[in-house]
Amino acid sequence: MADGHIDPDRQAWDVFKSLPRDRPIQMLNLIRLKPKAEYPADHPDHGRDLSGLDAYRAYGRTTAALFKRLGGRQVWAGQPQVMVTGPRSEAWDLAFIAEYPNADAFMAMVRDPEYREFVKHRTAAVADSRLLRLAPLTPGEGFGE
């Protein structure tokens, strides 16, 4: 497998910032975890023999208060089971949608100094991921409406 996608690249971040910032956004998260967390040597959890899931849960616990304070909420979570359409290499361990009151709230989170410490758990945990910004829509009666 090629190197995983862990953080946004500069071009994607620039596009994110160019989109409307004054309305709610949702972020689809697809996460593939490492079997064992890989913390840097200077991190307190280095050498603790934690699983990727353990480290990702630490990320969730440590960021929860900040996420909530900025108006974020998890609106959907599901356990991936089988890739019905698409490459089998795109199998995921976790899938969820986080909602923010606006793009500025998301940007405030990722720029927060505490978050920059907390995200080290995510980096230690994640082998590959996808993060897709969504504009919430009111569903119609048929698919794609």
pLDDT at 1: 40
Question: Quick check: 131 pLDDT over 80?
Answer: yes
H/E stretch holding 8:
none
pLDDT band at 8, cuts 50/70/90? confident
Cα angle: 72, vertex 111, 120; to 5 degrees = 90
Domain boundaries, the chain: 24-134
Q: What is the mean pLDDT of residues 37-54?
A: 97
Question: Quick check: 3 pLDDT over 70?
Answer: no
pLDDT tens sequence across 113-130: 999 999 999 999 999 999
Note if the pTM is more than 0.85: yes
Q: Kind of pairing, strands 25-33 and 126-134?
A: antiparallel
Q: Say which CATH topology domain 24-134 has.
A: Alpha-Beta Plaits (3.30.70)
